[in-house]
Amino acid sequence: MTGPEVACVGETMVVLAPADPTPLEHADRLAVGVGGAESNVAMGLARLGHRAAWVSRVGDDPFGRRVLREVAAAGVDTSLVTVDPAAPTGVYVKDPGPDGTRVHYHRAGSAASRLTARALDDPRLAGVRLLHLTGITPALSRGCRDLVAHALTARPLPAARISFDVNHRPRLWPARRAAPVLRDLADRADVVLVGLDEAAVLWGVTTPAAVRALLPGPDLVVVKDGPVGATALPRTGAGAFVPALPARVREPVGAGDAFAAGFLAGLLRGLDLPACLRLGHLTAVPALAAAGDTAPPPDPAWTAWALALSDAQWATLVPGLRSGQPDGARTVQNAAGSGHGGGSTR
């Protein structure tokens, strides 16, 4: 088969960030990159060997062309992206500071905000096994919200399992307005990923079990708890918890998308829940250590070795540093920027 195995739908923007680790107002130079939760997941899945497509709109402008080029360079099929001559590509700016990185959006009226449910009508999507959506898209416009609701309710891609990453963005819509919408959309999905911290802000729940009780509809709910670990709770049967790996945190933005890509890759491969969670953590570690929103995943040979560890061995694993690892482990250490510390699922 040559068609996409996975389709990820949503906006990707050009990212501007200080070239040096300094607050934006004092920066002399800005580095240019691209970032978007859904295309980040598509890039992660493509780098893990899956046929991933990104469905979106970009402006007919230099930023749009850069977005298309960089997403395609990761192996993602961008042929389903519409180039809009009448609306611009969105931009966001990172402002690093002692209390973390703030993000400033310039995306109102962007090309991607003009997405509608018709984006899923393309016959090339007919064989997709997984459709990935996030809670960012319904905050962009009425048409975008209709697109996500249509995907989850009408199921225009009947062969596709639908994953939904809650991904609440307070700067797009406050929790009081987002909470009921995101809960309703999440409860219609097959697989839901949500951070425990955002679930607490949105819905006032503070344990994975409480999140699962709040969302009875999905087949599977995955609750991420930063440096603690992640819990996968199926509707029936036993759940699984896998602790996070130590990782050097350079920039947390994008690590949650990397975790989602790894976890979803595990589902596509038919791995059990603990292995899916492990693959999510392993894929997130390099993203945490990278300056940009994405990073190459670990070496496949090392990943296979790490997935086969006992629980006790996993609990003491420091990527690239433990003895007994195959040669590929050092490749991971180099790709991640050497050294790790912190959590891997933010």
One-letter amino acid of 299? D
Tokens of 52: 């991933």
Task: Find the helix packing angle between 255-268 and 273-289, rounded to 10°.
Answer: 150
Catalytic residue among 77, 257, 293, 299: 257
In terms of C-beta distances under 8 Å and separation of at least 24 residues, what long-range contacts does 73-76 make, across chains too?
74/42, 74/43, 74/46, 74/47, 74/294, 75/43, 75/46, 75/47, 76/39, 76/42, 76/43, 76/46, 76/52
Output phi, psi for 188, to 5 deg. -95, -10
Asked about 225 being catalytic, the answer comes back as no
* Two tokens, residue 339: 């050294």
SS3 of residue 303 by DSSP = helix
C-alpha distances (whole Å) from 315 to each of 4, 139, 244, 245, 322 are 36, 38, 9, 8, 12
Question: Is there a contact between 336 and 247 (Cβ–Cβ < 8 Å)?
Answer: yes
Instruction: List, by residue number, the catalytic residues.
Output: 257
